[in-house]
């Protein structure tokens, strides 16, 4: 018997695969297809329902991705999400609000629901929904037959044509930060589309093994492993999959944290990886990014060096790279952020070392890349790792990106202080004051993701009383109203800031000095967090070294980015009033140690969601 299927049409959204994952969590098979898939091909598959994803573009743009309007006449239930809702309303001759004058919505937003509607069955009349959009459906110009079934303070958040079973939501039910979002997906899949529950992770693991066998054939496989759960799962899966060719496992020691390589080698041994080849190359990575400040330049240089080292390993081991396949732990998250998702419209948020370097892309063009994780996310990888027998110290390991410390050393440049900077600074001060806080813009830029597009904009700093809810409200409002800000930090210190902080810049590029300093900052900070018992309840702990010298100490600023998430497509900062994850006492202890012993002038915490900020700063 064939299993029920929900098709997701991809318009380049950052969360497209999360939609498919949410459907799978409802135990229904789901597959993603490009938005321009032929309508006859869709009909042939007999899907029980269709979901239209979000995307980075406006329905009014000249080359906006569209679907055949006859999709809505097939009699198949349709759910549009974000751009998908706007597109549905637009193609059915409704109106859209767009342009700089329209209020944008990013991050957690209160949404009022018609809880009597089948799409919102078993939900309260108000939830916290996750938003990431610039355009909005025009309440005064809904398509014929549609009514509003959800609202925010600013905009329509849900529409329905019950007669044709066509629905739309502006928020993202597929992300974990939307309250009971999975219930909304389940309501659509089960209650509206009538699907049964048949899909399991065990099915996916067997499909992955078959994918490896079909892709590799009789050839050898080279597997690069980092010790993280993604690549270690692939190595273990590869080890459990019978293929005729040889298997090679390689670990490259790049810009790792203090003690990291020793931990990685031990973890891989525990996972049963035999005959591990280790290549030490930290100094070469430092040289590769010498003099660079731009995050994309650094990521690409690091990725290209990884490719060079992969070729060197092949030569040293006598491996014929022309007849060998490369297996790696690439998640769909990596593909999405690198603009390499299913469809053609995804924006490049940041380059990943395992997506985009010439060596890997050449292999991809030749069809010699093996990526069993390419359709799933971090929480699904952890589930799969446990299912194939990997120990908890591997399956639950916090992620550490391939570019390592190289993308955690962030420069501060004087040419960023200009008229735009001062205008932004005045507006930040104004909004912060409404929450009883001080606000400043720092001469630092970081990478963000807003409306499914990459941004590279200013960092704002908040100071004042430790009222966490006020801090979070200010941190959420500022990037919604000031589009030149994508990240907010909070200063846990109480020293006075003089206006001349704008004159204080310390060049902060990747050098032996900054790498060694950040290694110590990261090691000490993580040790303190571990001593307070918070480590198991934090999804990722990141320490950043920045060139902002806010107190005129001639010392750099250290930042803690500690987050909660399931899949890393959305994240939230850990709360210092959450007794399971963080405390002000722990933060004070970190700040005191770093300032006293590690040449740090200021210690701040990142209080931004993703979106509008990315998890890592660069």
Catalogue the active-site residues: 82, 172, 174
**Alpha-carbon span 288 to 278, nearest angstrom:** 20
| Count of helix runs (H) and strand runs (E) in the chain | 17, 24
Q: In sequence order, what are the residues at sequence separation of 6 or more whose Cβ sits closer than 8 angstroms to the Cβ of residue 507?
A: 411, 412, 547
**Alpha-carbon span 85 to 127, nearest angstrom:** 19
- Residue 427: which H helix or E strand, with range? helix 419-434
- For CA atoms 82, 143, 76, 64, give the dihedral sign: negative
328 near 231, Cβ under 8 Å?
yes
565 near 538, Cβ under 8 Å?
no
The length of the chain, given as a count of residues: 618
Helices within 134-200 (DSSP H only): 181-186
- Residue 257, CA distances (Å) to 254, 260, 288, 321, 421 in order: 9, 5, 18, 30, 34
DSSP code, position 557: E
DSSP code, position 277: E
**Alpha-carbon span 219 to 446, nearest angstrom:** 42
- For CA atoms 215, 217, 222, 226, give the dihedral sign: positive
**Alpha-carbon span 462 to 562, nearest angstrom:** 17
Residue 55's closest CA among 431, 336, 315, 282?
336
431 near 448, Cβ under 8 Å?
no
Measured between its terminal Cα atoms, the distance across the chain in Å is: 48
What is the b/e burial string over 477-488, where b = at least 16 CB atoms within 10 angstroms of the residue's CB?
Answer: bbbbebbbbbbb
Tokens describing residue 138: 């025009």
DSSP code, position 184: H
Look-up of token digits 């099915």? 203
Q: In sequence order, what are the residues at sequence separation of 6 or more whose Cβ sits closer than 8 angstroms to the Cβ of residue 181?
A: 22, 129, 130, 172, 173, 174, 175
Residue 452's closest CA among 156, 16, 7, 122?
16
Residue 576's closest CA among 490, 517, 496?
490
**Alpha-carbon span 530 to 457, nearest angstrom:** 32
282: left (phi over 0), alpha (psi -120 to 50) or beta: alpha
**Alpha-carbon span 176 to 64, nearest angstrom:** 28
**Alpha-carbon span 59 to 94, nearest angstrom:** 11
**Alpha-carbon span 77 to 512, nearest angstrom:** 58
DSSP code, position 112: E
């Amino acid at each position: 018997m064939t299993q029920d299927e929900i098709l997701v049409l991809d318009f380049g959204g950052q969360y497209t695969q999360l939609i498919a994952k949410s459907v799978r969590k409802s135990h229904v098979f789901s597959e993603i297809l490009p938005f321009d898939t032929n309508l006859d091909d869709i009909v042939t598959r007999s899907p029980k329902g269709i979901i239209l994803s979000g995307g980075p573009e406006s329905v009014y743009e000249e080359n906006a991705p569209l679907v055949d309007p006859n999709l809505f006449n097939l009699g198949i239930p349709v759910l549009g999400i974000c751009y998908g809702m706007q597109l549905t309303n637009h193609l059915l001759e409704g109106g859209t609000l767009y342009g700089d004058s329209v209020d944008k919505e990013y991050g957690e937003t209160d949404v009022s629901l018609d809880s009597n509607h089948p799409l919102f069955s078993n939900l309260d009349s108000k939830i916290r929904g996750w938003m990431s959009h610039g355009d909005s459906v025009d309440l005064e110009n809904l398509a014929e037959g549609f009514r509003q079934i959800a609202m925010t303070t600013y905009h329509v958040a849900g529409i329905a044509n019950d007669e044709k079973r066509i629905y739309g939501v502006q928020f993202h039910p597929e992300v974990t930060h939307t309250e009971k979002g999975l219930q909304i997906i389940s309501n659509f899949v089960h209650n509206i589309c009538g699907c049964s529950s048949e899909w399991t992770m065990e099915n996916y693991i067997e499909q992955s093994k078959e994918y490896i066998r079909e892709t590799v054939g009789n050839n050898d496989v080279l597997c690069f492993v980092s010790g993280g759960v993604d690549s270690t799962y692939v190595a273990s899966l590869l080890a459990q999959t019978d293929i005729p060719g040889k298997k090679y496992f390689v670990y490259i020691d790049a810009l790792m944290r203090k003690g990291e390589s020793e931990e990685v080698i031990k973890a891989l041994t525990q996972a049963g990886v035999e005959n591990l080849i280790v290549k030490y190359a930290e100094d070469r990575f430092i040289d590769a990014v010498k003099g660079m400040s731009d995050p994309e330049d650094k990521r690409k240089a690091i990725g290209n060096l990884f490719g060079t080292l992969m070729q060197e390993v092949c030569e040293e081991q006598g491996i014929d790279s022309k007849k060998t396949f490369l297996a790696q732990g690439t998640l769909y998250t990596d593909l999405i952020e690198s603009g390499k998702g299913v469809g053609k419209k995804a924006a490049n948020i940041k380059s990943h070392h395992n997506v985009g370097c010439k060596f890997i892309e050449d292999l991809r063009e030749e069809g010699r890349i093996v990526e069993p994780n390419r359709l799933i996310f971090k929480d699904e990888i952890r589930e799969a790792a446990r299912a194939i027998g990997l120990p908890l110290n591997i399956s639950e390991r916090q992620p550490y990106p391939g570019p390592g410390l190289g993308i955690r050393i962030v420069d501060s440049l004087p040419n960023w202080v200009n008229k735009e900077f001062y205008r932004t600074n005045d507006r930040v001060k104004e909004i912060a004051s409404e929450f009883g806080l001080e606000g400043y813009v720092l001469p630092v830029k970081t990478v963000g993701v807003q409306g499914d597009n990459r941004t590279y904009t200013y960092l704002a700093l908040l100071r004042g009383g430790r009222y966490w809810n006020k801090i979070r409200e200010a941190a959420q409002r500022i990037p919604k109203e000031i589009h030149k800000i994508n990240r907010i930090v909070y200063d846990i210190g109480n020293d006075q800031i003089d206006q001349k902080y704008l004159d204080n810049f310390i060049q902060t590029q990747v050098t032996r000095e900054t790498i060694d300093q950040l290694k110590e900052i990261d090691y000490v900070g993580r040790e303190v967090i571990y001593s307070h018992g918070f480590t198991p309840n934090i999804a990722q702990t990141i320490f950043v070294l920045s060139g902002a010298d806010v107190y005129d100490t001639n010392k750099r600023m250290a930042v803690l980015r500690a987050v909660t998430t399931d899949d890393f497509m959305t994240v939230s900062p850990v709360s210092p009033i959450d007794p399971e994850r963080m405390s002000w006492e722990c933060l004070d202890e970190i700040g005191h140690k770093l300032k006293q012993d590690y040449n740090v002038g200021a210690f701040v915490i990142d209080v931004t969601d993703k979106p509008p900020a990315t998890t890592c700063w660069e």
